[in-house]
Amino acid sequence: MITIAIANQKGGVGKTTTAINVATALAATGSKVLLVDLDPQGNASTGLGISSAERERSSYDMLIDQAPVGECLMATRIPGLDLVPATVDLSGAEVELVSVDDRTGRLRRSLSHDAGHDICLIDCPPSLGLLTLNALTAADTLLVPLQCEFFALEGLSQLLQTVERVQERFNADLGILGVVLTMFDRRNRLTDQVSDDVRSCLNDLVFEAVIPRNVRLSEAPSHGLPALIYDHACAGSQAYMRLAREIIARLPKQRKAA
Ligand SMILES: Nc1ncnc2c1ncn2[C@@H]1O[C@H](COP(=O)(O)OP(=O)(O)OP(=O)(O)O)[C@@H](O)[C@H]1O
Ligand SMILES: [Mg+2]
């Protein structure tokens, strides 16, 4: 299994939308996909139509009780896509983790028991705390959604510093899969300028596919569906399909040396 953490400590930049739609696109290619909701907000779980009442075991159990992943996941209505949901308990996990052994390696240990998935995506919360550190320690590689706005690059350098720290201390093999520009608005000149800056700074690390600001992407979660299912033809869904194809092309290089 190859594990991809989707992280950016900035809130509301499209992490969860990217996680849900890339997971769906990858499952549509025939891969067995696992999405781990590691955000106490539980948006990935809700966006996949899993109500709080349906969430029995969760990512909290993986982190705190070291439950094997197989006991915590559930099927979604998307064929080939399983979910480890998040529950409100997870908001306490950050504090509870401080006093346990191997506090950054717990998600990795639980995921190591996985059998049967080809790709695991981890939807991180908007912070660089212990939840995100667990995701980066468990991951082979990192996918960063970046919204084209003025402070985007500053936030990114902070994230990349965290990646270096994780590489030094917990996970030497952590790679960077790439940066995807989200909520792109062609009519906004600042967006264009930031996008140019990001590309000239990060070059090939930035995916060609750009996710436009698209109202269908924001409507889909209220129907409990990935946009890719809710409206396959909309510009946002088509952009996520292109992104998924680029991700598949990049993945072989990201696999951890056994
Ligand atoms: N390309 C887009 N076009 C329009 N709306 C979008 C787009 N991407 C995401 N949204 C909407 O913007 C909001 C934030 O997106 P999302 O939840 O994916 O971000 P996030 O980074 O996961 O947020 P958080 O940091 O709170 O976890 C949501 O309401 C979502 O539906
Ligand atoms: Mg989110």
Which residues 6+ apart lie within 8 Å of 223 measured at CB?
49, 230
Q: Does residue 256 fall inside a structural domain?
A: no
* Ligand 2 centroid from CA 189, angstroms: 26
What is the chain's mean pLDDT, rounded?
95
pLDDT exceeds cutoff 60 at 257: no
pLDDT exceeds cutoff 90 at 148: no
pLDDT exceeds cutoff 80 at 67: yes
Predicted pLDDT at 150: 80
Predicted pLDDT at 252: 79
CB atoms within 10 A of CB 242: 15
Question: What is the C-alpha separation between 87 and 90, in angstroms, rounded?
Answer: 6
Predicted pLDDT at 230: 98
Question: What is the C-alpha separation between 201 and 80, in angstroms, rounded?
Answer: 37
Beta-bridge partner residues of 35: 83, 121
- Selected residue with higher pLDDT from 171 and 256: 171
Predicted pLDDT at 7: 98
What domain range includes position 235? 2-251
pLDDT digits (tens, 9 = 90+) for 200-229: 989 999 999 999 999 999 999 999 999 999
* Atom 29 of ligand 1, nearest CA residue: 218
pLDDT exceeds cutoff 90 at 179: yes
Average pLDDT, integer, range 134-159: 93
Q: Does residue 32 fall inside a structural domain?
A: yes
* Atom 10 of ligand 1, nearest CA residue: 218
pLDDT exceeds cutoff 50 at 169: yes
> What percent of the chain is modeled with pLDDT above 90?
89
Comparing CA positions, the residue from 1, 70, 14 lying closest to residue 47 is 14
Comparing CA positions, the residue from 175, 166, 167 lying closest to residue 143 is 175
Which residues 6+ apart lie within 8 Å of 147 measured at CB?
10, 12, 13, 14, 181, 182, 183
CATH number where 208 lies? 3.40.50.300
Cβ 155 under 6 angstroms from ligand 1: no
* Ligand 2 centroid from CA 258, angstroms: 31
Predicted pLDDT at 258: 38
Kindly identify the ligand whose nearest atom is closest to the C-alpha of 9.
1
Closest atom of ligand 1 to CA, residue 213: 3
Cβ 21 under 6 angstroms from ligand 1: no
* Atom 9 of ligand 1, nearest CA residue: 14
Q: Does residue 16 fall inside a structural domain?
A: yes
Question: What is the C-alpha separation between 49 and 43, in angstroms, rounded?
Answer: 10
pLDDT exceeds cutoff 90 at 254: no
Q: Does residue 257 fall inside a structural domain?
A: no
* Residue written as token pair 């997971």: 23
Cβ 13 under 6 angstroms from ligand 1: yes
Average pLDDT, integer, range 6-20: 97
Question: What is the C-alpha separation between 171 and 141, in angstroms, rounded?
Answer: 10
- pLDDT band at residue 255 under the 50/70/90 scheme: low
Cβ 183 under 6 angstroms from ligand 1: yes
| Cβ(84)–Cβ(69) below 8 Å | yes
**pTM of the entire structure?**
0.97
Q: Does residue 9 fall inside a structural domain?
A: yes
pLDDT exceeds cutoff 60 at 98: yes
* Atom 25 of ligand 1, nearest CA residue: 11
pLDDT digits (tens, 9 = 90+) for 107-142: 999 999 988 999 999 999 999 999 999 999 999 999
Q: Does residue 78 fall inside a structural domain?
A: yes
Q: Does residue 128 fall inside a structural domain?
A: yes
**CA distances (Å), origin 136, targets 26, 82, 168, 200, 258:** 21, 20, 12, 26, 18
Q: Does residue 258 fall inside a structural domain?
A: no
Closest atom of ligand 1 to CA, residue 221: 31
- Number of domains the chain is built from: 1
- Selected residue with higher pLDDT from 155 and 143: 143
pLDDT exceeds cutoff 70 at 243: yes
Q: Chain centroid to CA 70: how far?
A: 19
Question: What is the C-alpha separation between 69 and 58, in angstroms, rounded?
Answer: 9
Which residues 6+ apart lie within 8 Å of 232 measured at CB?
none
